[in-house]
Structure formats: structure tokens, C-alpha cells
Amino acid sequence: MQWLDRIPEGIRLPVTTPLAEVEAAVAEATVLVLEFDAFRDGRGFSLAAVLRERGWQGRLIAAGRLIPDQARHLRRSGFDAVVLAEGADREAWTRMDQAFSAAYQPAVDPLVPIWRRRAAAASPETVVDRLNRQLRDGDAETILRAALNPDLGRRPAVLSSFGAEAAVLLAAVARIDPSTPVIFLETGMHFLQTLDYRKTLTDRLGLTDVRLVTPDAADRSLLDPRDDLWQADPDACCELRKVRPLERALAGIDLLITGRKQYQTPERERLQPFEVFEGRIRVNPLHDWTPGRLQAAMDAGDLPRHPLSTEGYPSIGCWPCTRAVAANEESRSGRWAGAAKTECGIHLGRRAQAVG
């Protein structure tokens, strides 16, 4: 921040000027002076912040009735300089500008808030170890609240197939923050009932950011032009329609919430509430839930059920690789029936060889 003795040449506008007029005035300008008639008027701070957020990079100067206590706030709002009144105590302005070296809220300046600095300093492994120790016996909603707490400094999303048990997790997420991103892998092979259920459940729970993620069109045309790859190579089909699309969808996401449970497969028997997977924190709020507990939660919450869940489909994936199961069969035995395959791959990591 600079302290000036006089107002430099440039566009001069009072802070009472409407934003649209300010933006029009500075469209081709490199210097803007915003003049404050009273130090209590916060409109100048708002104008500065909006201009910076919208990409204006000219020199922004504050002038008028201002006090040293506002120095830091002016800088954090995007001002480059302040025109000091005659006889002003320059040292007082400098002292107040430098009084604090940390911030608790993000602003347009590059200063990183303390909570983000602390989170960034902690590796995913450190965070997961701490949360597992603290919340190992916590209920699902407690685990979810910890994962979605902004103080954790992570960018979360929920991965949901909108399958037979999806409503329990999504209802808990909606109670905490219905704007949490929910990723749905639209493979192009889902049952129509699943697509209808996704809309029903989204509307019922008030989820506001359900993201439909599809396979890359070029990959699909090259690798599965007849939509029959699932017959020859189910792993390659899952790679094309789930694994690769999810990788793209998770750009910028560093905490992923899933609905996996220990009872589902042998690979999941030791599932923990929090884990690290490919450098990202993965959260499993329902890790220790049983089928009976899930059904009880569905009843208690009067949650709509997937239409196929009452027709012998306790686990629902893409239609070519999912069948109904008998009463004496495991819940996921209808997935890739007759094959050694038990996972689509999104929870197992990248395949050793590329598809194709």
C-alpha cells in the first residue's frame, strides 16, 4: 500500500456512484480514484472488491475522509494507494496497515486465511489419522459434519449412484448442506428407473448441485462405438464410462464422500470412516452400517425407495451387468454375476494398463 500526498491524474468518482457506472467509466482506464465523503461509508470498499473480483487490474486509489484504522481493510479490498490529508500521521497509517500479519476471511488480496494455511500445512494422511482417532465411534452425521466443515479447508463432493441405499447418505448431506456437489456418473447404461429415481430423490431432498458426468464422446466413439464393450471386457467398459469420467469430475475436489459399507464386499471389510486414496481424502460415513440399519433409516425418514429395490435388486449398477438376486444370495452377487469382478474400479485406483 502506498501513501500519496496528492490525487494523481485519472478518473475520479464518488463512492456513491452506482457500480454499473463505475465499470463503464473504467472500461478503458488505468487509474481510478474513489472519493469517500465519510469514513463510515462502506460503499467504496464494496466497489473496489467487486472491480477486483471481476478482473479490473488498473491502479485503484482511495481519497477523502478516511482514518488510519481503515488502512488494512482498504488494501484487502483491492486499493493500491491512499491519498492522505494534509498533516496526516503517515506512521500511523503504516502501523495500522501492518498491525496484523494474518487473516481469518478470504478477500481480493492474496493473503491466505489462517484456517486455509493450517489445512494446507496438514497432509491428507495427517488429517485422516486425526479424524479417525477423534471420530472412529462417531455416527454418520457427525462424520459428515466434520467432512463438510469449512474449517477443514477442503473442497468436498459426494459420489452417488442413486442406487438402492443412496437416499440415506444423501438425506444426511442435505440436512447439513444441500448445496454440496453430488457427482452422478451417467454411464449411458443405467436403468431408466435409476434415472427417474435420481430426479425424484434430488427434488425430494432439495439437492441443488447434482452433476451428471458422462464418458468422453471421442473415447466412447473410439472404444465402444456399438455400446457392447461390456460383453467383451467389463473392466474396460467401467474404465471408459466410470473411472475416466470421475477423474475429470474430481478436478479441484480434494475430499470425496462415498456410500460404501463394510458388509458389501470382502475388499471393504476393514473400511474406516476416513481414508486417503490417490492423494485425496475419502470419507465413508456409513462404513459400519448394516442392511437392517439402512432400511430402518429409510423408514424413519420416510425416504423414497429405488423402484428396483423392491424387485430383488439390493445393489444397482448399469443394466447389462446387474441382475436380481435370490433371497439367499449376497446383496452384491447380482453385480457382474458369474465373473470374478466385484468393483467397477473407481474405488480401486487406475488400472495398470490403459484401455484400448
Mark whether 248 and 232 lie in a shared domain: yes
Q: Is residue 347 domain-resident?
A: no
Mark whether 183 and 221 lie in a shared domain: yes
Mean pLDDT, rounded, for 255-277: 88
Q: Is residue 187 domain-resident?
A: yes
pTM reported for the whole predicted model: 0.65
Question: Which pLDDT does position 119 carry in this prediction?
Answer: 66
* Residues above pLDDT 70, as percent of the chain: 95
Mark whether 86 and 192 lie in a shared domain: no
Question: Which pLDDT does position 353 carry in this prediction?
Answer: 33
Question: Which pLDDT does position 352 carry in this prediction?
Answer: 34
Segments forming the whole domain that contains residue 58: 2-111
Supply the CATH number for residue 59's domain. Answer: 3.40.50
Q: Which amino acid is at 288?
A: D
Single out the residue in 75, 90, 111 at which a domain terminates. 111
Range with top average pLDDT, 105-109, 226-230, 299-303: 299-303
Mark whether 87 and 166 lie in a shared domain: no
Residue 176 CA to residue 337 CA, distance in Å, equals: 37
Write the pLDDT tens digit of every residue in 134-178.
998 889 999 999 999 988 888 999 999 999 899 999 999 999 999
Question: Which pLDDT does position 174 carry in this prediction?
Answer: 96
Mean pLDDT, rounded, for 286-290: 92
Mark whether 122 and 258 lie in a shared domain: yes
Supply the CATH number for residue 294's domain. Answer: 3.40.50.620
Mark whether 80 and 34 lie in a shared domain: yes
DSSP per position, 71-90: HHHHHHHT--EEEPPTT--H
pLDDT surpasses 80 at 253:
yes
Mark whether 59 and 94 lie in a shared domain: yes
Write the pLDDT tens digit of every residue in 106-143.
788 777 776 666 666 678 899 999 999 999 888 999 99
Question: Which pLDDT does position 117 carry in this prediction?
Answer: 66
Q: Is residue 354 domain-resident?
A: no
Instruction: Give the DSSP H/E element, type plus range, for residue 143.
Output: helix 140-148
pLDDT surpasses 70 at 263:
yes
Which residues form the catalytic set?
344
Q: Is residue 327 domain-resident?
A: no
59: confidence class by pLDDT, cuts 50, 70, 90: very high
Single out the residue in 111, 142, 164 at which a domain terminates. 111
Mark whether 53 and 142 lie in a shared domain: no
355: confidence class by pLDDT, cuts 50, 70, 90: very low
Mark whether 154 and 256 lie in a shared domain: yes
Residue 168 CA to residue 144 CA, distance in Å, equals: 12
Which of 41-55, 100-114, 170-184, 226-240 has the lowest average pLDDT? Answer: 100-114
pLDDT surpasses 60 at 256:
yes
- Farthest-apart Cα atoms in the chain, separation: 89
Question: Which pLDDT does position 349 carry in this prediction?
Answer: 59
Q: Which amino acid is at 3?
A: W
How many domains in the chain?
Answer: 2
User: 55-89 burial, b if ≥16 CB within 10 A, otherwise e?
Assistant: ebeeebbbbbebebebbbbbbbbbbbbbbbeeebe
Q: Is residue 12 domain-resident?
A: yes
